[in-house]
Amino acid sequence: MQLDFANRELTIKLVYYGPALSGKTTNLQALHRLLDASAAGRLMTLETRDDRTLFFDMLPVAFDAGSGLRVRFKVFTVPGQVMHAATRRMVLQGADGVAFIADSQRNETRANQQAYLDLQQNLRELGVDPARLPVVIQFNKRDLPDIRTDAEIDALARHGTEPVYKAVALRGAGVLETFFGLVERTWDALEREHRIEQRFGVTRAAVLERLRARTHRTGTVP
């Protein structure tokens, strides 16, 4: 978190993490379309010829949260390919919260597991306790065949501590829910550490209300 007292601006870094082709970039593209132009800035995407993220994507989201405080979210993705381990660690540095984007297809179970272990390892190498960082999990690609059932995902959610969301990011389904869930969980952690409400008079409820007011209410990509 970065706090500019002079300009009363709070900047929060969120990172979308997960295996290659799980839908991290697709989430940001959908989020960019679902947010009003007054809140979402220019989506920067760096891709290879096979449409995989080469370095990172970044989507700035900024709005007035009330009491004269401007809140800015910088939302990043990381490249999922094994060869880009150093880049993932660099992009992850300084993250205030993480959305782990898993692929719902059964044949991607091992890739999901390896990516999650990679996330935890990179956090430790950055000096961050994985248990203390706000994380939400999204199971994407719910429209494909041979996927984990809703019951299986619900069972996984009951055994973990992270909120779990289901999505078809290509259609925009579940994208806002995942984002809002990450914002809520991250804000709570920052509030405990920095007492934002006491300093600025801004509550989590006010932040979420103002953010939701800047979205297309259909919940799907136009």
**Per-position b or e across 181-218, b if 16+ CB within 10 A of its CB:** bbbbbbbeebeeeeebeeebebbbebbeebbeebbeee
Mean pLDDT of 91-99: 96
pLDDT of 38 reads 84
Give the chain's domain count: 1
d(CA 1, CA 14): 10
Q: For the chain, what percent of residues have pLDDT higher than 90?
A: 71
How much is the average pLDDT of 204-218?
87
- pLDDT surpasses 70 at 78: yes
Query: Is residue 143 domain-resident?
Result: yes
Is 27 within the bounds of a domain?
A: yes
The answer, yes or no, to whether residue 53 has pLDDT greater than 90, is no
Nearest to residue 74, comparing CAs of 88, 53, 95? Answer: 95
- Does the pLDDT of residue 125 top 50, yes or no? yes
Domain residues for the domain of 201 are 2-212
Contacts of 215 (CB under 8 A, 6+ apart): 34, 35, 36, 176
Contact of 101 with 27, CB cutoff 8 Å: yes
Structural domain contains residue 172: yes
Q: What is the mean pLDDT of residues 131-149?
A: 97
Residue 217 within a domain: no
Q: Quick one: the chain helix, strand, coil %, rounded to 5?
A: 40, 30, 30
What is the pLDDT at residue 52? 53
For the domain that residue 103 is a member of, what is the CATH number? 3.40.50.300
Per-residue confidence (pLDDT) for residue 80, from 0 to 100: 61
Task: Tell me whether residue 170 is in a domain.
Answer: yes
Assigned domain for 219 exists:
no
Looking at residue 173, what DSSP letter applies?
B
Averaged pLDDT, 103-130: 96
Q: State yes or no: pLDDT of 221 exceeds 70.
A: no
Q: What's the gap between Cα 55 and its chain centre?
A: 17
- 84 lies in a domain? yes
The predicted pLDDT at position 47 comes to 61
Name every residue whose Cβ is closer than 8 Å to that of residue 105 and which is 6 or more positions away in sequence.
Answer: 141, 144, 146, 147, 148
220: left (phi over 0), alpha (psi -120 to 50) or beta: beta
**Average pLDDT across the chain, whole number:** 89
Q: Considering the domain boundaries, does residue 15 fall inside one? A: yes
Residue 222 confidence (pLDDT): 47
pTM, rounded to two decimals? 0.92
